[in-house]
Structure 1
């Protein structure tokens, strides 16, 4: 693993022939044109407010056009799509990308590898999405796998993109479970789509990846959940980095980008279903999978650089150093909230109030039409998406959701998806992919078999049932 991560880090500093040409801050023959190159990951759902959704809505172009009307400059926005953060970092080292978004581990690598060159040096300027517990970065296994816990992966092959947020989840999970991440499993460094194929073909016994790959594979019935990052209870996030040299030359571009990111964040939190459809169109992912993450109670889309996230980033450094060569990085010097604070102020918004809020900005609310009660507890609230409906239907608790699914099915409706929070960790998950437990008259959903077994072991009389039994039994 050390050799593999070293190779990843080396790749991030390799300059292609094209990188020897003028960097993207240089103007073309038209001195009134400013090029803005944005690196993003269309299938990494936690970055959509700085990538897929931002691009689809055109918020950045609109704001730059407004600036150009008064300054006389033209801004040429170029979007470059990648599967992981590593190639974005490589292009930022080469001064070919100006602004990029990626997960926490890749962000550290980005800061470390760019710091030696003042023109390439980057800083973390905002967050796209985060989970205070590390939820939704996951480890999955084939549907027929007998594995039930991380111990069952000892000596097995696990696919991960080394140096990615998904790899970070694996390393931390194994370490917490008392398994040496370097010798306990064999990690195959693979791009997400390659790893997905390897899992399906049996070349690897598990896959550890960032959103939305675990949810996609489970939705497609190609995998089942073994471990949710929430079990580790350690914050994970994705964020935005900018080359300081570029931001210094074009501060209006960084300001416009962050303002546009705030536009996209507000749009997603206020219109999650419409946002999910736009992201699905832009990424090629199923809408139902996108909405798992972008819907209420999923990823927290909040741009503020919360102290808890910065502290978590510092805590990630030893893990990176333990698996490969990693140049020391002053995290406090790498993180700067000056620009995002300025963006809040320009909108007349209170940055500190948002900074100090731990609540997910998007939560389910309304009235449950089946149980005829208010939906007001995010730890219990679920959501039903019926095909052809213009809106989703909220459910106050798991039992009400099961009843809603049963009633919709009875009237011949097609269920696109039903979402419910895991009873142990609160992670939003697919109801039909959950492991259900009956405890008296209550039915409780768990993302993993291990979670369900932990509950039944502590509650005599509780038993695991399948989804159809839960649907039939819900009262």
Structure 2
């Protein structure tokens, strides 16, 4: 994919921000025409059930049309696409966006900023999550001499300050014994800018959120240095709404949450078709979308405000406070499960099981899963490299799904194991005498 396609279209970024929303000139009490403005991030594919996929399916518009037949109001949806959550928060607190989706750290900034400006917001649902933190990854350029987080000392690392990926970077550096404020030079950059900086050599590493690490790895433009799942701390994206709008238009919020549930059902029951749809809308490769959003993907999609996620949100507050980005956030006041319970009562999805290796062959509208890495390698060999669209394998320790041909493989006797990072593979080998790191091609050729 070219740099031009990586960047959001300029025309999209410059969508008029003055469009009337639910509380605007055409949407006040007693209005017969209401425009609902939704802010989303098309490239942040962990939010697709409240953004890209939802928009393409038209479920929100359908729910509003049904509502309009009941109350005699004509509803229109104005979708606005952004690269990160920060501009969505800015427009929400200005009263110009009614509903938005963003990651956990930006959600806290959304809550803090809303309270500060007396434009309170509420977290009403989740889009996708990973209970170990695998949605964020630190990557380096191919051929980089950097092998672990400690190698980042004195180096330049690109990230989006205040994002979930920045939070992962801060915590990971601290666990590695480094001071994020002193031992590395953080470059505060948009994801696309950071990707270009990594390619140009002006950044030594890039810490970003879904789907940038996977995209760059797929393109051969990056190698994973640190798997966010090593933190073993949940990370997620969610839906936030202006409190004033939610009180004035509860029926609209209910319609959105019903539509989000329908989009979630679509993604979970038709993962390949959903990945193809999101790829078409965003210009991202479908193979990358599926890495995160597929049946075994890194993200689990469920609108429920799970206790583990709320607890993780509370643990995120001190990280933002230490960076001077917030003073305090009342998470309990910010999280509001009532609208989801009202709109989609009793909705629940089964717990996600351990991910399995998965193979996607060219020309196929479905994938195959396998009980272990060895079986996947054998299937790849039998299919022939020319027929493989994508092969995915979970990290042997963290469970984070990764591209099989980008993973680091270890042979341990007759067993095969894969790792997202070389550091992870080296730790395994150090603890298992006789095991050794091997290349993907060798692994495929030797699998039986």
User: For the superposition of Structure 1 and Structure 2, which TM-score range results when normalised by the shorter chain?
Assistant: over 0.9
Q: TM-score, normalised by structure 2?
A: 0.93
Q: Is the 8 A contact 2:412 2:436 kept in 1?
A: yes
* Cα distance in 1 for residues equivalent to 2:113 and 2:251: 26
2:384 to 370, 390, 409: 409
Q: Is the 8 A contact 2:272 2:365 kept in 1?
A: no
Q: TM-score, normalised by structure 1?
A: 0.88
Describe the SS at the equivalent of 2:124: strand
Describe the SS at the equivalent of 1:225: strand
* Cα distance in 1 for residues equivalent to 2:84 and 2:261: 23
Who is 2:198 aligned against?
199
Q: CA RMSD in A?
A: 1.8
* Cα distance in 1 for residues equivalent to 2:379 and 2:128: 30
Deviations 1:32-83 (A, max 9, x none): 1111000000010110000000001001000000111121111110000000
Who is 2:281 aligned against?
282
Deviations 1:266-307 (A, max 9, x none): 110111001101111111100000000011222110111111
* Cα distance in 1 for residues equivalent to 2:226 and 2:185: 17
Deviation for aligned residue 1:23: 5.7
Deviation for aligned residue 1:167: 0.8
Paired residue total: 431
Deviations 1:292-333 (A, max 9, x none): 001122211011111111111111111001112413211100
Q: Flag the 1:214–1:21 CA change in 2: closer, same or farther, 3 A.
A: closer
* Cα distance in 2 for residues equivalent to 1:443 and 1:325: 44
1:382 to 353, 357, 367: 357
Q: Is the 8 A contact 1:456 1:463 kept in 2?
A: yes
2:395 to 408, 412, 422: 422
Who is 2:157 aligned against?
158
Deviations 1:70-124 (A, max 9, x none): 2111111000000000000000111100000000000000000011344x21000
Structure 1 runs not aligned, ≥5 long: 1-15, 364-377
Q: Flag the 1:35–1:408 CA change in 2: closer, same or farther, 3 A.
A: same
* Cα distance in 2 for residues equivalent to 1:416 and 1:165: 30
Q: Is the 8 A contact 1:113 1:327 kept in 2?
A: no
Structure 2 runs not aligned, ≥5 long: 1-13
Who is 1:436 aligned against?
409
Deviation for aligned residue 1:184: 1.2
Q: Is the 8 A contact 2:159 2:189 kept in 1?
A: yes
Matches within 5 A, 1:68-467: 68-118=68-118, 120-298=119-297, 299-345=299-345, 350-351=346-347, 354=349, 359-360=351-352, 378-379=354-355, 381-409=356-384, 413-467=386-440
Deviation for aligned residue 1:24: 4.6
* Cα distance in 1 for residues equivalent to 2:430 and 2:20: 63
* Cα distance in 2 for residues equivalent to 1:194 and 1:317: 27
Who is 2:7 aligned against?
none
Who is 2:26 aligned against?
28
Describe the SS at the equivalent of 1:35: strand
Describe the SS at the equivalent of 1:443: strand
Describe the SS at the equivalent of 1:125: strand
* Cα distance in 2 for residues equivalent to 1:58 and 1:32: 21
Q: Is the 8 A contact 1:27 1:35 kept in 2?
A: no
* Cα distance in 1 for residues equivalent to 2:342 and 2:60: 17
* Cα distance in 1 for residues equivalent to 2:341 and 2:136: 28
* Cα distance in 1 for residues equivalent to 2:212 and 2:117: 34
* Cα distance in 1 for residues equivalent to 2:396 and 2:325: 40
Deviations 1:222-281 (A, max 9, x none): 000000110011110100000010011111000000000000111101110011011111
Deviation for aligned residue 1:25: 1.7
Deviations 1:433-460 (A, max 9, x none): 0000001111111111011111111110
* Cα distance in 2 for residues equivalent to 1:333 and 1:423: 39
* Cα distance in 1 for residues equivalent to 2:264 and 2:365: 22
Q: Is the 8 A contact 2:407 2:418 kept in 1?
A: yes
Q: Flag the 1:255–1:136 CA change in 2: closer, same or farther, 3 A.
A: same
Describe the SS at the equivalent of 2:360: strand
Deviation for aligned residue 1:415: 1.4
Deviation for aligned residue 1:197: 0.2
* Cα distance in 2 for residues equivalent to 1:304 and 1:427: 22
Q: Is the 8 A contact 1:131 1:236 kept in 2?
A: yes
* Cα distance in 2 for residues equivalent to 1:459 and 1:94: 57
Deviation for aligned residue 1:343: 2.0
